[in-house]
Amino acid sequence: NQAFINNEWYELYGFMESLKIKRNVLLNPGPATTTDTVKMAQVVPDICPREKEFARLMKDLRSDLLNVVHAPDDEYSAVLFCGSGTIGIDVCINSLLPENKKLLIVNNGAYSQRAAEICEYYGLPYIDLRFPIDALPDMQTLQKTLEENPDVAVVYSTHNETGTGILNPIREIGALAHRYGAISVVDTTSTLAMRPIDVQEENIDFCMASAQKGLMAMTGLSFVIGRKDVIEASKAYPKRSYYCNLYLQYEYFEKTGQMHFTPPVQTIYATMQALKEYFAEGEEEKWARHTRAFEAIHRGLSALGFRDVIKREWQAGLVVSVLYPDDPNWDFEKIHDYCYERGFTIYPGKISATDTFRLCALGAIDAPDIEAFFVVLREALARYHVRVPVVYKE
C-alpha cells in the first residue's frame, strides 16, 4: 500500500474508521488522551534507526522541540532519551552537577521529592529545601539558603507539582539561581506543550518532558532541552551514569544525528505527528482549550460540593487535586471502576497525609468531554449512595 510506504497515513481515514478505535477520556496526569492520527502515525514501514533518513527525522524533531519552548537553536539543544519522564530528572541531576558542588532542590511535592531520592541514590551532595505541599515556596528562604551555600551549582524546581496541581514560581526561582551563580533546572514534564513556556523569559537553563504528556503523543520518548555551553562544560564533570549521561547523548547526536542507543522508533513517528498537530492548533489556542477543560472540571466539582486541596489561584491549570468526602459510602475504587467501565479514567492523589483524587485537563479533550464525565460521576455517586452535595466534617 503506497500510502503506508510514504507514511501518508492521512489518506487512510476510511481504514482508520474501520478500526473503530475506542476513545477513552483519560483524566489522569498522563499518558494523555491522543488523537487517532497520532495513534496511526506509528503504523509505518520497518526501518533501521541508523538509516540517514531516520536521522533526518530526529533532527527535525529536535528542532521542533526547541520551537515549542522558544529556545534559540544557537544556544539550546534538545537531547532525546528512551524512557519515561523520570529519566529526564535522572539525566539532569547526574549530569549537570560539577565536582565539589551542591544541588539545591525546591521541594514542595512528590515530584520534587523524586529528585531528592535520585540524589540519594547517586550519593550526591544536595540541600532538600522543603516547603508545605499545599503552598508556594518562600523566596526569602530560598535566597537566604543560596547566600549561606555559595557552593550550590544547580537549583532544581518543578514547574507544576503534578501530585497537587500547584504552579511554582519558576521565573523567580531561576532569577535567584542566576544571581548566585547557579543554573536553573526545571521539571516541565506536565507543562511543556500545554502551558506556553519561553525558556529565556522564565530563566530556564534546562527543562525536560516526555512525549505522552503535553505533546499528547505516546510513552517511551523523553527529552532534555538545555544550554549547549553548559552541556559541553559537563564533559569534564564526574561521570555518574552511562545510559543517562547528557553529554554522551548530546555528543552522539552532534556527531551522527542519532541516539547513542536504540530509539523508540514508532514513538518518534507518533511524536512527530503530535508536533504537527501542536503547531497546527497553535500554542495559545491549545492552552485555551486546556483552560476550558480545567474550568469545566471546577464547575463540575463545585456542583457536586467537592473541595480542592490547592488554592485556585495557585493551580497550574492542569491538575485539580480533590479531597475525599467524609461519607461512609465513599469508595474511590468503586467510583473509579464505574467511571472506567464507561470510558473515563480518574486517578488517586499523591499526598501522603491526605486522601485525594486528581482530575486533569491534559490531552486531546475539551469542555464537552469533562461535562460528559460529570454525568457519569454523578451516576456513580448515586449508584453507591454517596450523598450529593458531598459532605465534609469541617
Give pLDDT tens digits for 306-325. Answer: 999 999 999 999 999 999 99
Query: In the beta sheet, which residues pair with residue 78?
Result: 225
The arithmetic mean of pLDDT across residues 243-265, rounded, is 95
HSE of 147, CA atoms in CB hemisphere, 13 A: 6
pLDDT digits (tens, 9 = 90+) for 77-122: 999 999 999 999 999 999 999 999 999 999 999 999 999 999 999 9
Beta bridge partners of 224: 79, 208
Taking alpha carbons only, the member of 1, 81, 68 closest to residue 40 is: 1
Is residue 39's pLDDT more than 90?
yes
What was the pLDDT predicted at 354?
79
**Sequence-ordered list of residues with C-beta below 8 angstroms from that of 307, at least 6 positions apart, any chain:** 322, 323, 392
Residue with cell 552541556: 231
359: three-class secondary structure by DSSP = strand
pLDDT given at position 20: 73
DSSP β-bridge partners for residue 105: 128, 156
- pLDDT for the residue numbered 21: 85
Q: Grid coordinates standing for 309?
A: 486541596
Q: Give the integer Cα–Cα distance in Å for 11 and 390.
A: 49
Q: How would residue 2 be classed by pLDDT, with cut points 50, 70 and 90?
A: very low
pLDDT of residue 349: 81
pLDDT of residue 15 exceeding 60, the answer is no
pLDDT at 11 > cutoff 80 = no
Going by the DSSP 8-state scheme, the letter that residue 52 receives in this structure is H
> For residue 5, what pLDDT band results from cuts at 50, 70 and 90?
very low
Is 50 exceeded by the pLDDT of residue 3?
A: no
Closest CA to 194 of 373, 391, 72, 362: 362
Collapsing DSSP to helix, strand or coil, 300 comes out as: helix
Q: Taking the mean position of all CA atoms in its chain, how far away is CA 252?
A: 25
Would the pLDDT of 274 be above 90? yes
- By the 8 A CB rule, do 65 and 272 touch? no
Q: What is the pTM of this model?
A: 0.93
Average pLDDT of every residue of the chain: 94
- pLDDT tens for 140-182 read 999 999 999 999 999 999 999 988 999 999 999 999 999 999 9
Q: Measuring CA to CA, how many Å separate 277 from each of 8, 303, 344?
A: 15, 34, 23
How far is it, in rounded angstroms, from Cα 392 to Cα 394?
6
Angle between helices 110-122 and 86-95 (to 10 degrees): 50
Mean pLDDT, range 65-80, rounded to an integer: 98
The angle, 0 to 180 degrees and rounded to 10, between the axes of the packed helices 246-256 and 86-95 is 100
Mean pLDDT of 251-277: 95
pLDDT of residue 16: 53
